[in-house]
Amino acid sequence: MLVIFGVVIAAISIGGYIALNVSDDSYDSEEIINEFEFIKKNIFRYLKENDVIPENLENMDGFDISKIKYPFKIDKGGKFLILKISDEEEVKKILNKMNKSSYYENPNLFLGIYGVKTRKNIPIPEIIVSPENIDTGVLVNYSYNEISGKDYDIDEVTWEGDIKIYSNPGEYKVSLKIKNTKGIWSEKVEKVIYVGEKKGIKEIVGSKEILLVVYKNGKVSYKAFGANKFGLLDKNKFEDYNVITNADSISMKYDHMLVKTKELNIKSAGSNKFGQLAKNSRIDNVDFSEIWGLKDVIKVETGKYYSGALTKNKKMFLWGLNDSRQINFKRTLFYDMPQNFTQINDIEGFSLGKNHCLIKDNANKLYSFGCNEFGQLGNGFAERVSEIQNVFNFEIDFFHAGDEFSFAVEKEGNLYGWGKNNRYQLGMFGARVKKPVIINSIKNIISIVSSETIVAAITEDGKIFTWGTYFNKFGINVDVIEPIEIPFDEQVKSMAISNNEIYVLTIDDELYVSGYDFLFKKVDITIGLSK
């Protein structure tokens, strides 16, 4: 507290300036003049201690303390301290910290000292934006700190310009106002955001008729290999898939597609015969629209006529065809909206086959349910089941649900396979395998992609293996009964199977393809790299 003009004046720091609550008493007395001399001598010590004005002002060349006038200059209802400063850059810094009544008339800087009773409780927000370096296609998080030092809670927040994902590079501005429980609003604060262009490819995704290239900025390119449910034309080159703009990951094993957006929502398109698009209908749709009610999604997958999603809180949702109880164990034929799977809690991951599902829980145990015609549930039988099956009694690291077959890698690195094997999809002899069997010729698998008849895998040391049956352009089957290595010297970022061929994306964003000749050849993807 300061005693000025013979009255008590409350001196507080508000948002980087001094506010003095001054009474309306007359200040034309000798006592008042003496009090003013006191504050004049101590004003800079006070301002410095409260970090109101930059420290170098105290000894700034050209400052004349005699320019602090008495009585205060009366102007626009304010009372001012007048400083003589010629450095306009320094003036800008000071005015940025002062109240709105402060102004500058070269060389005099008028610092407003005034009191408004409610202003002493004004909240002061500080905008926080993450990540620090923002590129197009990146999810941006906005938050704030309240830095006034007061104990009041904030009960209302108003943002402007808080764009979650920027599609184009450039300079943007975000602003914020907050209101505390006393009903007092803060001043509007602003922050400038610089957005760069994110380059490069994140992943490739394949189905029988389409290969997708998903870019880090959320855009997508495609190459079609024939008629498909998305209306994409076969032009023998990559084209922009302009209807998708903010993709984070995509699943498209068959004839419909799920796009997990960077906002962690889901958009869907394609075949919808059994409601697998979650549109509350069964009409095919080439236009992508958001699935209602699913938020904070971290993984999506497509089966033949059904779909799945896993959320941040480890809940799994399934929808679409339920003829093999691949969604739940009820007799409902199909669901055209997401159904929460409740038989296992804390789901860490899942994988969908044509009509069966594999789940890993937080104890790394593997479970299965759905169609079991070829033993793909791994329970030793080939009949329909009425409850979820525990596949292993030991922990697993990696698992993959293929078309009508399954794989898992346990802690020691051994690869197990089971299910349909008519085209050597398990890398061994036998039409079907009802219980998990070790595939001895390969270990330490970290990734698997598959089609109905082809399997490709990557090991920890970066080697690529394949097995199954390839169909060449002459209609001749090429059977690969056991896993064979396809020579490849580049480091692989992503892998997909499309058009009966294996595609690999290197860490340098170069695309290669290998068919029944088992030799990788570079693919022209220049249109994609222009993104």
Average pLDDT of the segment spanning 236-246: 91
Average pLDDT of the segment spanning 398-417: 96
Average pLDDT of the segment spanning 338-348: 94
- Cα separation, 237 vs 208, in Å, equals 16
Classify residue 531 as exposed, middle or buried by CB count within 10 Å of its CB (0-12, 13-18, 19+): buried
Name residue 24's amino acid: D
Average pLDDT of the segment spanning 379-386: 88
With b for 16 or more beta-carbon neighbours within 10 A and e for fewer, the 136-174 pattern comes to: bbbbbebebebebeeeeeeeeeeeeeeeebbeeeeebeb
How much is the pLDDT for 427? Answer: 95
Average pLDDT of the segment spanning 406-423: 96
User: Quick one: pLDDT band at residue 472, thresholds 50, 70, 90?
Assistant: confident
How much is the pLDDT for 410? Answer: 95
Average pLDDT of the segment spanning 450-470: 96
In this predicted structure, the answer to whether residue 156 has a pLDDT above a threshold of 50 is: yes
In this predicted structure, the answer to whether residue 56 has a pLDDT above a threshold of 50 is: no
**How distant is the alpha carbon of residue 506 from its chain centre?**
23
Tokens of 31: 């006592």
- 371-382 residue pLDDT tens: 999 999 999 988
Beta strands in 275-345 (DSSP E): 285-290, 297-302, 306-311, 316-321, 334-341
Name residue 381's amino acid: F
How much is the pLDDT for 10? Answer: 31
How do the residues of the chain divide into helix, strand and coil, expressed in percent and rounded to 5? Answer: 10, 45, 45
How much is the pLDDT for 497? Answer: 97
User: Quick one: pLDDT band at residue 31, thresholds 50, 70, 90?
Assistant: very low
Q: Sheet of 17-21: strands edge to edge?
A: 2-4, 7-14, 17-21
| Of the candidates 166, 168, 139, 197, the residue with the CA atom closest to the CA atom of residue 529 | 197
| Maximal C-alpha separation, the chain | 111
- 118-145 residue pLDDT tens: 345 788 899 999 998 888 878 899 999 9
User: Quick one: pLDDT band at residue 106, thresholds 50, 70, 90?
Assistant: confident
In this predicted structure, the answer to whether residue 531 has a pLDDT above a threshold of 60 is: no
- Cα separation, 490 vs 458, in Å, equals 12
Average pLDDT of the segment spanning 415-426: 97
Residue 74 CA neighbour count, 13 Å, CB half:
3
Average pLDDT of the segment spanning 222-226: 94
- Do 222 and 238 touch, CB atoms closer than 8 A? yes
How much is the pLDDT for 70? Answer: 40
Cα angle 374, 376, 378 (rounded to 5 degrees) comes to: 115
| Of the candidates 370, 374, 351, 356, the residue with the CA atom closest to the CA atom of residue 434 | 374
Q: Is the previous residue joined to 125 through a cis bond, with omega within 30 degrees of 0?
A: no
Helical (H) or strand (E) element with 128: strand 125-130
Query: For residue 471, what are the β-bridge partners?
Result: 477
**Minimum mean pLDDT range among 45-54, 90-99, 162-171, 184-193:** 45-54
- Cα separation, 525 vs 513, in Å, equals 12
With b for 16 or more beta-carbon neighbours within 10 A and e for fewer, the 308-331 pattern comes to: bbbbeeebbbbbbbbbbbbbbeee
How much is the pLDDT for 47? Answer: 52
Going along the chain from its start, the domains and CATH numbers come out as 2-117 (no CATH), 122-196 (2.60.40.10), 201-246+340-529 (2.130.10.30), 247-339 (no CATH)
